[in-house]
Amino acid sequence: MKVVRAVGLWAVGVSCLWGAGLTAVLAQTEDVNDMPGASIVRRFRPPQVDLVRFQPMPADHRLLNEPKIKLLARKDGYEFCSRITGAPISATSRPMACAYWNVKRRECTVVTPEVTGFNYVGHEVRHCFEGAFHD
Amino acid sequence: MIDAPVLAVPRMRSLDRRQCLKMALGLAWAGPAVTTSAQSIKPRMKVGFIAHYQPYSFLQADGSLTGFDVEVVKALLDASGFEMVPVTDSLTQLRKKLRDSEIDFIGNQLLRTPENRRQFDFVNSYATIQLVTVLHEDDDRDFLSLENFLGKNLGVLSNTGIDEQARGVLGKTVRGFERIEDALRALAERKLDAVLEENLIAEYFIERDELPLKVGTPFAAPIRAGLAVPKGNKNLENRLNEAVKNLVKAPRFKAISSRWFGYDVSRPRVSFATGV
């Protein structure tokens, strides 16, 4: 499995959720087994409640099966996500992560601020499999 | 894909009880705007379409009208027991015709701008339209803002809002094209780094011309748009809203959408998670 070096262990942690079902690729790629702390990450299992929440639907119900997923952690993550989704930035709420996908090419990109949370990334990665599932 | 004529030829049939009921319901549905033809068993609705607006509505070489919006509106009216009578013209003339009650509604999704909202009411959208970057299919670069195009060759449609905005940030490195298909062809030939365009227009030309391109990063939030109905005609607006809601879940819509764009365009292609 290949992951983005720029996001380091974040990508590893998220990728572990889906095991072989998730193939994250990027321009700069590296085998997770060669990365520092790989043995710890391999043993990591998220809490069961998160597994349920982030578990994508069975393959035949997904919008993108076996998508290529790119993770981008950016300084302007909040502003970028607000701009492409229309979600406002206010004192009480702001987009903590966002995703966009190309159905035909089975490609998906998750964008976050530099500091984010496992739950936000997991939620967006689920979108990478299922597309828009909120309604 | 674009050769299939969409205009149904009215056929003479005897009216059975179900058809009479359908016609009566149809008349009640849209009130005085509906007309009936001696040749047709269905009530008819005059729908205005922009004559040259690929891929949404356009006249083919043989004079027949086709397009994504044309097929969707026909499906909406079919499901509601109406026959569509298309009227083609420029957008300016269609606005005038709608105001003068010469057509029942505009069959293209117009932007919900303040000016348009003063004149018309809008039906909920059946397609997600968004400004996006278009890249060569082999290009893995991430252009997430206009500043990322500094020193790059960006193609846009001339004399549009994005043309003006891009030139404001990037200056003369922005190349304007009179036709977006020419910009996409230049990108396919690697004469440009990227093109900014609406996702569905880009998807259509990529499919139609089999271009080695891909739709990439969104540049703005999805555009709010919808079919324009006469101001205050809540009955028509509500009925079309209901028809849109049902149609986007139906296999017929997915087939139309896939034929024009290669996938179901009724669903958003962006998502977000909020927090503090």
Q: How confident is the model at residue B39 (pLDDT cuts 50, 70, 90)?
A: low
Q: What is the pLDDT of residue B2?
A: 36
- Tell me the mean pLDDT in the region B244-270: 95
User: Taking CA atoms, what residue in B is nearest to A88?
Assistant: B274
**Cβ contact, residue pair B142, A127, below 8 Å:** no
Per residue in A13-61, pLDDT (tens digit) is 344 344 333 334 344 456 767 777 888 777 777 667 666 677 788 888 8
What is the number of other CB atoms lying within 10 angstroms of the CB of residue B25?
12
**Cβ contact, residue pair A97, B273, below 8 Å:** yes
pLDDT > 50? residue B219: yes
pLDDT > 50? residue B76: yes
pLDDT > 50? residue A10: no
**Encoded amino acid at B35, one letter:** T
- Tell me the mean pLDDT in the region B233-249: 95
A115 touching B, CB under 8 A? Answer: no
User: Taking CA atoms, what residue in A is nearest to B268?
Assistant: A132
- Residue A116 distance to chain B (closest CA, Å): 10
- What values do phi and psi take at B139, rounded to 5? -90, 115
**Cβ contact, residue pair A120, B217, below 8 Å:** no
Q: What is the pLDDT of residue A47?
A: 67
**Encoded amino acid at B114, one letter:** P
Per residue in B93-112, pLDDT (tens digit) is 999 999 999 999 999 999 99
B82-114 as b/e, with b when 16 or more CB fall inside 10 Å? bbbbbbbbebebbbebbeeeebbbbbbbbebee
A109 touching B, CB under 8 A? Answer: yes
- Judge contact between A72 and A111, C-beta under 8 A: yes
Q: What is the pLDDT of residue B3?
A: 36
From the list B214, B263, B272, the residue facing A95 with the nearest CB is B272
User: Taking CA atoms, what residue in B is nearest to A26?
Assistant: B140
- Residue A3 distance to chain B (closest CA, Å): 15
Percentage of residues in chain B having pLDDT higher than 90: 80
pLDDT > 60? residue B243: yes
Cite the beta strand spans of B27-163 per DSSP E: 35-36, 43-50, 52-53, 57-59, 65-66, 83-89, 105-111, 120-122, 131-136, 154-157
Between B273 and B67, name the one with better pLDDT: B67
Per residue in B115-164, pLDDT (tens digit) is 999 999 999 999 999 999 999 999 999 999 999 999 999 999 999 988 99
pLDDT > 50? residue A2: no
Q: How confident is the model at residue A11 (pLDDT cuts 50, 70, 90)?
A: very low
Per residue in B163-176, pLDDT (tens digit) is 999 999 999 889 99
Q: How confident is the model at residue B1 (pLDDT cuts 50, 70, 90)?
A: very low
- Tell me the mean pLDDT in the region B201-225: 95
- Judge contact between A11 and A124, C-beta under 8 A: no
A87 touching B, CB under 8 A? Answer: yes
Query: For B41, which DSSP code?
Result: S
Q: Give chain B's mean pLDDT.
A: 87
- Judge contact between B167 and B174, C-beta under 8 A: yes
B116 CA to centre of own chain: 16
**Cβ contact, residue pair B270, A26, below 8 Å:** no
- Judge contact between B121 and B141, C-beta under 8 A: no
Q: What is the pLDDT of residue A50?
A: 66
Per residue in A94-131, pLDDT (tens digit) is 999 999 999 999 999 999 999 988 889 989 999 999 98
Tell me, what's the ipTM? 0.80
Alpha helices (runs of H) in B80-179, residue ranges in sequence order: 91-99, 114-119, 161-170
- Residue B140 distance to chain A (closest CA, Å): 7
From the list A86, A92, A102, the residue facing B222 with the nearest CB is A86
Q: Which residues of B touch A124 (CB under 8 A)?
A: 271-273
Q: How confident is the model at residue A67 (pLDDT cuts 50, 70, 90)?
A: very high
From the list A27, A70, A101, the residue facing B269 with the nearest CB is A101
**Cβ contact, residue pair B270, A74, below 8 Å:** no
Q: Which residues of A touch B274 (CB under 8 A)?
A: 87, 93-96
Please report the residues numbered 49 through 78 in chain A whose beta carbons come closer than 8 angstroms to any beta carbon of chain B.
63, 70, 72, 74, 76
- Residue B113 distance to chain A (closest CA, Å): 16
C-alpha dihedral sign at B113, B114, B119, B122: positive
**Cβ contact, residue pair B271, A132, below 8 Å:** yes
Percentage of residues in chain B having pLDDT higher than 70: 86
What is the number of other CB atoms lying within 10 angstroms of the CB of residue B158?
14
Q: What is the pLDDT of residue A70?
A: 96
